[in-house]
Amino acid sequence: MSEAELLFLETAEYLKPEDVSQLRNAYAFSQGAHSGQFRESGEPYISHPLAVARILGKLRLDAHTLTAALLHDVVEDTHISNAEISERFGATVAELVDGVSKLDKIESQTPADAQVENFRKMLLAMARDVRVILIKLADRLHNMRTLEVMRSEKQHRIARETLEIYAPIAHRLGINNIYLELQELGLRYSYPTRYKVLEKATKAARGNRREVVEKILDAIKLKLQESGIAAEVSGREKHLYSIYSKMVEKHLSFSEVLDIYGFRVVVKDIPSCYVALGALHSLYKPIPGKFKDYIAIPKANGYQSLHSTLFGPYGIPIEIQIRTAEMHRIAEAGVASHWLYKSSNEDLNDLHIKTNQWLQGLLETLSDSTDSLEFLEHLKIDLFPGDVYVFTPQGKILTLPRGSTPVDFAYAVHTDVGNCCVAVKINGENAPLRSKLKSGDHIEIITAPHAKPNPAWLSFVATGKARSRIRHFLRTIQYDESIELGERLLNQALQSFHIDPETINESQWEKLIRDSAAKSKKELLADMALGKQLPAIIAKRLASPGESPVSSENVASGSITILGTEGMTIQFAKCCYPIPGDVIVGFIKKDQGLIIHSHDCPTISKSHKNPDNWLDVTWGKDISRTFEVKIKVVAANKRGVLAKVTTEIAKTGSNIDDIVMESEKDYTTMHFILQTKDRFHLAQIMRGIRRIKEVIKISRVKGCPPQMN
């Protein structure tokens, strides 16, 4: 019997006759469209969409999905348009086909950018209809099954992408069979030698284990029978990818991983799950800390089971999963269960709500990510399964990825809570925002109305949502600050040409924006602050027709006033650490904005030779913030000298940001980075240190000593 007839026979078990008839039409249409096309293996191309449809048929998906599976490459690889698909098979099928089809490649795109843009398109379509990703997963599974005909570099690239993106998506949607097979095939083509060694060792080990497995199986069945529990009991074989992952993550040998035996118990209802658990705990002693109740608190992908690890005969660890038949079906088919079982089922509705929330979260991340690789990074972070369950003050459970912090929790509650987060209480106790959350923790986020995200949070947050929200906020703030600084730079340049900024009218701006191919006035101003446009050139181009600007060489230009509140658009050079009171100059550096140096900085004459990029800058009055400064202290190498120096620094109200010490036989050299208000404050600090009798020499440092930033 042909593959096509097998598909029609298998789907006739659950589809209506008219639906099977539509599949026959779709198959004939796809076969005609792909006529003369062949796969790398030499098989007719139609074998691929047919195989994809059969994979989805085994999940008992609806006729629209199976029709779209048969047609999923028609638009991409043949002359057939999506409009024709819509006319013949309906708008729903056409939308599914369009969601799976790749974008036309843009010439300027790199392969990586093209890949990410296709992920973006797929996720947008997936958020409208999750069946798009089900077709894509089946498509990827069949491609992986036939990957051996590809050259080894392509095999490796596709396998890594499968392990990093597609297998986690299948897991996140709860489609267990596809998830496990994608992992196995991903391992096989990512590490072919390791795969072969593990496969051979596993086959040999399983033969030796059969007797032990049967003995435990019989004991479990007998105990459940004695307890009056009707159950199906089966042994669970560990998959190669699971074995390999445990060996790598936990640094275990092959024999240590294989020494764990797995069994699954399927019972009729939820009360029977807990009765069965008690019976098995009386048969074999449970290992403390190895019990998880995923029935009371389901996983994010809808998975429910009781998990317990027991001491079996001969001290063998036994992993037990206990679940109902319905839980087992959802564990195997996940979100695909929606088309297989009644939609009135409360658990399935809850699963679809959670899936939809996850997809909406991905869409928000997608809209916040301006860079393709940044979006892919967020996607990979969010695809790994969450296994930390924490409580809000109202008792609501939130599921977060392993390694999540209170900041991740805050953003999971709401973006505004994350942006205004200032502190946290974990189980009623104050805790650092970088604390790692544990299952069962009660989290209370403390907010302040004017608080802002801290860039340092990016170094420890674990969720893509938190990361993207922080970056989005910082980008927005930086853009607003850049516009303000750009306006100040332009006004200075206009004044240097004796042009009053107030005389520049809208028509001059409109002409400049058109000529510059910029989107707006704000974009031009921000570009000046970030060094992408030179203020002097923009000022010349803004001059009214017929007005001849005076050369900047002959005009004493006004200076930019540094207030210390400009934020990220003005940076203070790490080579000289300028502080209020120093004579300073500014340098516009592309993509970094205005960099402030002290006038005698040893690096400026070497690094920045273009005079058009230099600006006169001065300090404003009443600057309230502190600035970093470096000092070098040489002292006698005696006990307690460091304590004396740090005490003197603390007396002046200065904080120490960093310290590096170099000790010799008689002398100790200490390099400090301190927080100071201005030159007067620095002089006060240095006077206090100089009074210490062990101090031989003290000086301010411009330039970077070893091991300091």
* Better pLDDT: 395 or 11: 11
Residues 6+ apart with CB under 8 A from 654: 674, 675, 676, 681, 685
Q: Residue 224 and residue 216: Cα distance in Å, rounded?
A: 12
Return the exposure string of 236-246: e unless at least 16 CB atoms fall within 10 Å of the residue's CB, then b.
Answer: eebebbbbbeb
Q: Are strands 570-572 and 593-598 parallel, antiparallel or unpaired?
A: parallel
296: buried, middle or exposed (CB in 10 Å: 19+, 13-18, 0-12)? exposed
Given the residues 19, 76, 441, 444, select the one marked as catalytic: 76
**Containing domain of residue 640, as a range?**
627-700
Whether pLDDT at 345 is above 60:
no
241 with 185, same domain: the answer is no
203 with 323, same domain: the answer is yes
Given the residues 10, 19, 77, 694, select the one marked as catalytic: 77
Minimum mean pLDDT range among 24-38, 226-240, 379-393: 379-393
What does the pLDDT read at residue 399? 77
**pLDDT level of residue 707 (50, 70, 90 thresholds):** very low
**pLDDT level of residue 614 (50, 70, 90 thresholds):** confident
Mean pLDDT for 334-358 is 55
Choose the final residue of a domain: 283, 314, 341. Answer: 341
Cross-strand bridge partners of residue 389? 399
* Better pLDDT: 251 or 556: 251
CA 428 to chain centroid, in Å, comes to 30
Mean pLDDT for 35-63 is 91
359 lies in some domain: no
What does the pLDDT read at residue 343? 43
CATH number for the domain that contains residue 445: 3.10.20.30
Mean pLDDT for 232-241 is 83
Q: Residue 344 and residue 543: Cα distance in Å, rounded?
A: 70
Whether pLDDT at 650 is above 80:
yes
Whether pLDDT at 103 is above 50:
no
Rounded alpha-carbon distances, angstroms, from residue 274 to 224, 240, 279: 12, 31, 9
Two tokens, residue 15: 């589809």
What does the pLDDT read at residue 490? 82
Q: Which of 290, 284, 52 lies closest to 178, judged by CA?
A: 52
275 with 297, same domain: the answer is yes
Rounded alpha-carbon distances, angstroms, from residue 298 to 38, 398, 406, 652: 45, 11, 21, 56
Mean pLDDT for 321-327 is 91
Minimum mean pLDDT range among 32-46, 171-185, 467-481: 467-481
658 a catalytic residue = no
What does the pLDDT read at residue 118? 67
281 with 421, same domain: the answer is no
* Better pLDDT: 115 or 697: 697
354 lies in some domain: no
CATH number for the domain that contains residue 691: 3.30.70.260
Helix (H), strand (E) counts: the chain: 28, 19
555 with 571, same domain: the answer is yes
Minimum mean pLDDT range among 290-294, 306-310, 545-549, 676-680: 545-549
576 with 668, same domain: the answer is no
Residues 6+ apart with CB under 8 A from 409: 390, 398, 400, 424, 437, 443, 445
Q: Residue 80 and residue 86: Cα distance in Å, rounded?
A: 11
* pLDDT tens digits along 133-182: 889 899 999 999 999 989 988 999 899 889 888 888 888 777 888 999 99
Q: Residue 324 and residue 322: Cα distance in Å, rounded?
A: 7
What does the pLDDT read at residue 384? 52
What does the pLDDT read at residue 90? 93
201 with 245, same domain: the answer is yes
* pLDDT tens digits along 237-264: 778 888 888 888 778 788 777 666 889 9
369 lies in some domain: no
What does the pLDDT read at residue 605? 64
477 with 512, same domain: the answer is yes
* Better pLDDT: 469 or 143: 143
Q: Residue 402 and residue 391: Cα distance in Å, rounded?
A: 15
349 lies in some domain: no
Q: Residue 245 and residue 187: Cα distance in Å, rounded?
A: 10
What does the pLDDT read at residue 279? 94
Cross-strand bridge partners of residue 636? 667
Whether pLDDT at 364 is above 50:
yes
681 lies in some domain: yes
Minimum mean pLDDT range among 153-167, 183-197, 348-362, 625-639: 348-362
429 with 480, same domain: the answer is no
CATH number for the domain that contains residue 147: 1.10.3210.10
Whether pLDDT at 472 is above 60:
yes
Q: Residue 111 and residue 362: Cα distance in Å, rounded?
A: 22
Collapsed DSSP state (helix, strand, coil) of residue 442 = strand
Average pLDDT, the chain: 81
Mean pLDDT for 270-283 is 94
**pLDDT level of residue 123 (50, 70, 90 thresholds):** low
662 a catalytic residue = no
Q: Residue 704 and residue 707: Cα distance in Å, rounded?
A: 8
* pLDDT tens digits along 287-311: 888 888 989 888 777 788 999 999 8
224 with 255, same domain: the answer is yes
What does the pLDDT read at residue 121? 64
709 lies in some domain: no
Two tokens, residue 679: 């030159």
Collapsed DSSP state (helix, strand, coil) of residue 455 = helix
* pLDDT tens digits along 383-441: 554 567 788 888 787 878 778 999 999 998 998 999 999 899 998 888 889 899 987 78
Q: Sign of dihedral through CA atoms 617, 621, 627, 630?
A: positive
* pLDDT tens digits along 594-606: 788 888 887 776 6
Tokens 């803004």 map to which residue? 542
Amino acid at 650: A
Angle among Cα 585, 588, 590 to the nearest 5 degrees reads 155
352 lies in some domain: no
Q: Residue 301 and residue 167: Cα distance in Å, rounded?
A: 13
Does this model's pTM top 0.95? My answer is: no
Q: Which percentage of the chain shows pLDDT scores above 90?
A: 32
509 with 612, same domain: the answer is yes
Minimum mean pLDDT range among 108-117, 192-201, 207-216, 393-402: 108-117
Total domains, the chain: 5
Choose the final residue of a domain: 619, 636, 671. Answer: 619
27 with 149, same domain: the answer is yes
Whether pLDDT at 346 is above 70:
no
Choose the final residue of a domain: 289, 306, 341. Answer: 341
Q: Which of 433, 438, 441 lies closest to 470, judged by CA?
A: 433
Q: Residue 87 and residue 80: Cα distance in Å, rounded?
A: 12
Residue 390 in contact with residue 400, Cβ under 8 Å?
Answer: yes
* pLDDT tens digits along 487-510: 887 887 787 677 778 778 788 888
Helix, strand and coil in the chain, % to nearest 5: 55, 15, 30
233 lies in some domain: yes
